[in-house]
């Protein structure tokens, strides 16, 4: 089974802190994604990567950056956390191809105080 592991289930940070969310997948997938999920809304894509060192902005990249130095690892960085970034963050991976399934991690619930 594919495993996508997110480093933390819960995080509490202060406004202005730099926050790192880590994600590792073990199935040699080319694509990796970061989404945020807020109550009553569909998942929103922050960034995705289709190869090592490659990154593309999603629908809501403002206030975030990403890093993909190795194929299995995709990091999401909040340069200066703000309260409106309090959310559930979900990492996913997939093979290349339009019809490929996304496999998700369990998510990180981030609270910014």
Partner 1 sequence: KNQVEQSPQSLIILEGKNCTLQCNYTVSPFSNLRWYKQDTGRGPVSLTIMTFSENTKSNGRYTATLDADTKQSSLHITASQLSDSASYICVVSADSNYQLIWGAGTKLIIKP
Please give the residue ranges that form the binding site for partner 1 (CB under 8 A): 4, 31, 33, 40-45, 48, 50, 56, 90, 92, 94, 97-107
Provide the residue count of the chain: 113
Rounded to a whole number of angstroms, the minimum distance from the CB of residue 56 to partner 1 is 7
Contact of 63 with 79, CB cutoff 8 Å: yes
Contact of 65 with 57, CB cutoff 8 Å: no
* Residue 11 or 45 having the CB closest to partner 1: 45
Rounded to a whole number of angstroms, the minimum distance from the CB of residue 66 to partner 1 is 14
Contact of 43 with 36, CB cutoff 8 Å: yes
* Residue 14 or 99 having the CB closest to partner 1: 99
DSSP of 4-23: EEES-SEEEE-TT--EEEEE
Rounded to a whole number of angstroms, the minimum distance from the CB of residue 76 to partner 1 is 15
């Amino acid at each position: 089974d594919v495993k996508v592991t997110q480093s933390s289930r819960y995080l509490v940070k202060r406004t202005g802190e730099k926050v790192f969310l880590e994600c590792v997948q073990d199935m040699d997938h080319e694509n990796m994604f970061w989404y945020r999920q807020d109550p009553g809304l569909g998942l929103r894509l922050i960034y995705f990567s289709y190869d090592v060192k490659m990154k593309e902005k999603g629908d809501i990249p403002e206030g975030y950056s990403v890093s993909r130095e190795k194929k299995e690892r995709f990091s999401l960085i909040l340069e200066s956390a703000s309260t409106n970034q309090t959310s559930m963050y979900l990492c996913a991976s997939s093979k290349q191809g339009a019809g490929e399934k996304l496999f998700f991690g369990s998510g990180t619930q981030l609270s910014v105080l």
